[in-house]
Structure 1
């Protein structure tokens, strides 16, 4: 279920992206949505589902949901691969995971189990993702690169921010409306604390 006001905002966001040079092809059908959800084992939140059904962004920065290939899989894989890199190379560790084990194997095993139990992140564009659970509109967008993670507002907020002109007076307003962390965002299991610890240490 998605509110009519949200549909209007998403249409405007699509138009904004078109004006910024991003092409769109025919949106995903119900059957295509079902196939993707079955293949990757998640459900699209209503706002992202509706947006993708109105038109599929045709740009290398966005996932091509019609091609369930290595490039699409890479959008999913790079989240864990980045976390793994920081655990192994930068020796980072999340406090919610308990005391860090002495061995690499134990540390990776514990972190990976926490990651597997977390809501799957659905790629939006680049390093930005939308949590799949709860399956509701207006989940916070997460920008994540390795263990560096911040919030980027809701889907509507983020889509309007993409490729904004630096001369436009949107940056300050965006940062005020969409802080990198806030208790006002919907709480997402695992990921809210993950972002909070990254922002505040």
Structure 2
């Protein structure tokens, strides 16, 4: 993955890029929000920080807004649990009451998804380098880039070819199953 080359093309295309975060700034963000960036996400943010509407501003954005972006993937699944009868078989019998609370308990065990841009996410560490970028809207989850560099080219530079299937070793528990369209009865 060649982030330097992609960032140069983004800069040439007029995407606003602030200087990268220092190691101390990255560590502070991770401490404040209780997650660890995966290696690819960390690499991007230490090289340059894309700026503008829908990019999380880890240093200057209102903390409650960042927490909402972090909660978006789980909150969306909970909407489908409460309103659309989504309930994976691996969670056991669906409770009659307190479905939201039960779903949140189960979702606390899935990898944390960290916002990259809008509703595009990368899993937090220990995700392997080259992990695909996920587009998450409730339980409608797809790969939006085969890795972070591919994603940035697709989202901001107009690459429109189909997203290649990721290597099977790069699966992200729960989220990759949603991408694959696994029947909740089989999760």
Name the TM-score class by shorter chain.
0.7 to 0.9
C-alpha change, 1:183 and 1:32, in structure 2 (3 Å) is: closer
Total equivalences in the alignment: 183
After alignment, is 142-151 or 130-139 more displaced? 130-139
Q: Structure 2, unaligned stretches of length 5 or more?
A: none
Give yes or no for contact 1:150–1:198 (8 Å, CA) kept in 2. Answer: no
Measured on the aligned residues, the alpha-carbon RMSD in Å equals: 2.3
Larger deviation, residues 87-96 vs 154-163: 87-96
Shift of 1:44: 1.4
The ranges of structure 1 where at least 4 consecutive aligned residues each deviate by more than 6 angstroms after the TM superposition are: none
2:77 counterpart (56, 75, 83): 83
Deviations 1:140-161 (A, max 9, x none): 2111011111122211211111
TM-score normalised by structure 1 residue count: 0.81
Q: Which whole-Å CA distance do the structure 2 matches of 1:135 and 1:148 have between them? A: 21
Shift of 1:185: 5.5
Once the two structures are TM-superposed, the CA of residue 112 in structure 1 deviates from its matched residue by: 0.9
Partner Cα distance (1:122, 1:63) in 2: 10
Q: 2:153 aligns to what?
A: 160
- Is 1:92 aligned to residue 82 of structure 2? no
Cα distance change, pair 71–17 in 1 and its aligned pair in 2 (3 A): farther
Q: Which residue matches 1:47?
A: 40
By relative contact order (CA 8 Å, sep 6+), the higher-ranking structure is 2
Match of 1:150 in 2: 142
1:70 deviation in Å?
Answer: 2.2
Q: TM-score, normalised by structure 2?
A: 0.86
